[in-house]
Amino acid sequence: MLYAVIDIGSTTIRMAIYEILNNKLNLIHKRKYTVGLASYVKDNVMEQAGIDKACEILNSFKSFLTSFNIENVSAFTTAALRNAQNSKEAVTEIIARTGIDLHIISGDEEATYDFIAATHELDYHDGFIIDIGGASTELIRFADNKIIQKTSLPIGSLALHTKYATDFLPSEEEIAQMIKEVHAIIDTAPEFKDISHAEICGIGGTCKGARALYNEMYAQDDINETIPADKIPEMISHFTRGHKLTDKDITTLLKTVPDRLHTIISGMVIANEIAKLIHATAITYKDAGMREGFLYTHVIEGYFFMQKNNDILQILFSYQDKNYAQFVQKLLPKNIDRENIKIIGIRLPQLRKIAKDLVKNNWQEFLNQNTNEYFEQIMLEGFVIAYAPIDINAKQKLIQNFLPKINNWSICDSFCASFQLKTKDKDLYLSFIKNYLNSPNEYELRFAIVMLLDYYLTKDFADNALQLVYNTKDISYSVNMAKAWAFSKYFTFYPDKGLNFLQTKSLSKDVFKMTCQKIRDSRRVSSRYKEALKNL
C-alpha cells in the first residue's frame, strides 16, 4: 500500500510517500518546501499570505498524488497554525480551497508521535527525546519503553530567529536574548528539572541539520549521528554574526544546511540549553519523527499489539493527557470516591482505535489479563467486548461479567454506544436487556435503560421501549437521569405522543423535572412544544 503524509510545519511543508509492506515503512518519495509559515504569524494571527502559501503548496501536492493515483493521504499541521488565534478559521479555509482534510495536531499528540517513532528505532529503553521545530519544542522522557513525562514548549528555531535576529546569523547580543527566553519557557516545565540523562535522542530538522554541520566542521564520517554536547556552544559561537567567516565556513553552511541558514543557530541554542538542563553529554540524531509515529499509530493497524512484550498499560500511557485526566475526574459522580479512581487521561477516539486494533489481534488475551487498575482499562475492556467478532451468546456472557465493573455513567454510556446493533439481532439482545430492568444495581439498570434508548426507540418499538423504561424503579440519580434522557429522546422523535405521555403518566418529581429540562435544552424540539410543557 502507498500512503502519503503531508506535514505543515512552522518551517517547512513536506509530503512523504511511504510503501507499507508487512507492517514496515519504506520511504519512497519526499517533497519539501521551506516556507517559514511561523513568520507569517503577526500578533498571534496567521496572515492571509501564509494561508495562501499553504494552499498553493497543498494543491501542488494534490495534483502530484492525483497523477499517480495515490488515494491514501493524511495531512496535519503543528505549532505554526495550532498556536495562531485564527487557527480554526485558517484550517477551514485551507480545507475548502484544497479539498485536503487537514487536522490540527496538539502538542501532546506531537510529543506522543515523536516518542513512538523514535523508540521504534532506538536500541535502549530509557532516555530523553527532543524535537525542535520551527515554533515548538517537544520533550519526552521515557523509561522501560513508557513515557514518564512529555511536554510541548512554545519555543522554536524559526520563532526565536524571527523575534530576535536581524540577519541570517544572530549576533552575540541576540543569542543572549534567545537564551533568556529559552530559560523562561523551560522554567514553565519544572517536571524536567533535576533529572539527568547522558544522551539525548534528537529527531526533526534542527537536530538533523546540526548533525550534518558538526560532521562537516569536525571532519566526521557522514554516517556519524552523535554530536558531543560540549561542541554545540563552539558551533554557535563560530557562526555568530560578528565572527569573521572564511570561505570554508560559508561553504560549510551552504553545503550542510541550505534550507536552515536562518534557523540552525537559534535551533542549536535551544538544543544547548536543554542539554545543559538535563546534564547531557551528547545528542544523537535519529531519522524518525512525527510522520512515522503517526503512521505507526493510525495506519499500521495493530502495530503495538504485535510487539514481543505486549504491555497495554505502556500503550495507554503513551497517549496520556494529564489535563484531560483532570477534566474526566470532575465529570465523575459526586457520590463515589473520585479521588481514588485512577485516570490516565486518554480521549475516547484513541481508546476506540486501540480497542479496534486489539480485536484484530489478541483481544482474548487482553480480557484475561486486564487488571482494571485504571478508568481507561475498564473503558477499553467494554469497547473490546462491544467490537469482539463473536456470536451473540458468547458476547452476552462477556457483557454479564463486565457489568459489575461499571461504576460511573461515562463507562456505562460509552459501552452501550459501541454496539451498533443490527436489526436482525435486536430481539435476542432485548431478551438479555430485560434481565436487568429490575436490577438493584444502579449501573446494571442504567445499562438496560441506555441500551433501550440507544437502539429501541424506533418507530416499530418506541412505545414498548418507553413503557419498559417507565416501569423501572427510581433507585439513584444516575438511573433517574437515564430515564429522563429516554423520555426526552422519545419526546424529540415523537413530540405529540411524548407530550401525551407526560400529561398522562405519573413520573417522580425529579425525573419529570429532568425530562422537561432536557426537552427545553434540545434544539430539535420546536418552541410550540416547549411552550406546551409550561402547562404541565
Q: Which cell numbers hold the place of 501?
A: 405521555
pLDDT band at 349 (very low <50, low <70, confident <90, very high): confident
pLDDT value of position 196: 84
pLDDT value of position 535: 80
Integer Cα distance of 292 and 132 in angstroms: 16
pLDDT exceeding 90 applies to what percent of the chain?
60
Read off the pLDDT of residues 63-79 as tens digits, 9 standing for 90 and up: 999 999 998 899 999 88
Beta bridge partners of 7: 14, 76
Residue 383, pLDDT > 50, answer: yes
What amino acid is encoded at 221 in this protein?
D
Integer Cα distance of 268 and 271 in angstroms: 5
Q: What is the CA radius of gyration of the chain?
A: 28
pLDDT value of position 121: 62
**Segment 445-468 mean pLDDT:** 95
Give me the half-sphere count of Cα atoms (radius 13 Å) on the Cβ side of residue 386: 25
The H or E element containing residue 297 is helix 290-298
pLDDT value of position 309: 35
Identify the weakest region by mean pLDDT among 1-5, 20-24, 197-201, 463-467: 20-24
Q: Is 227 helix (H, G, I), strand (E, B) or coil?
A: strand
Residue 453, pLDDT > 50, answer: yes
Give me the half-sphere count of Cα atoms (radius 13 Å) on the Cβ side of residue 264: 26
pLDDT value of position 310: 46
Residue 530, pLDDT > 50, answer: yes
Q: Is 388 helix (H, G, I), strand (E, B) or coil?
A: coil
pLDDT value of position 308: 35
pLDDT value of position 105: 86
pLDDT value of position 321: 83
Integer Cα distance of 507 and 484 in angstroms: 10
**Segment 206-222 mean pLDDT:** 95
Residue 382, pLDDT > 60, answer: yes
Integer Cα distance of 416 and 426 in angstroms: 14
What amino acid is encoded at 28 in this protein?
I
Read off the pLDDT of residues 302-346 as tens digits, 9 standing for 90 and up: 444 444 334 677 778 878 888 888 888 888 766 555 566 789 999
Residue 529, pLDDT > 80, answer: yes
Name 245's Cβ contacts closer than 8 Å, sequence gap at least 6.
Answer: 239
Q: Which residue has the higher pLDDT, 229 or 364?
A: 229
pLDDT band at 411 (very low <50, low <70, confident <90, very high): very high
Q: Which cell numbers hold the place of 288?
A: 524518525
pLDDT value of position 154: 92
Q: How many CB atoms lie within 10 A of CB 428?
A: 14
pLDDT value of position 335: 59
Contact 376, 346 (CB under 8 A): yes
Which residue bears the cell 436489526? 423
Q: Could you give the angle at which helices 409-416 and 375-387 cross, rounded to 10 degrees?
A: 20
Residue 448, pLDDT > 90, answer: yes
Mean pLDDT of the chain: 89
Degrees to nearest 5, angle at CA 108 with 106 and 109: 65
Residue 123, pLDDT > 70, answer: no
Query: Which residue, 347, 358, 365, 409, is CA-closest to 386?
Result: 358
Contact 522, 529 (CB under 8 A): no
Measured in residues, the chain has a length of 536
Burial tier of 290 (Cβ tally within 10 Å: 0-12, 13-18, 19+): buried
Q: Could you give the angle at which helices 442-455 and 409-416 cross, rounded to 10 degrees?
A: 30
Q: Which residue has the higher pLDDT, 176 or 78?
A: 176
Integer Cα distance of 480 and 463 in angstroms: 19
pLDDT exceeding 70 applies to what percent of the chain?
95
**Segment 455-473 mean pLDDT:** 94
Integer Cα distance of 36 and 40 in angstroms: 8
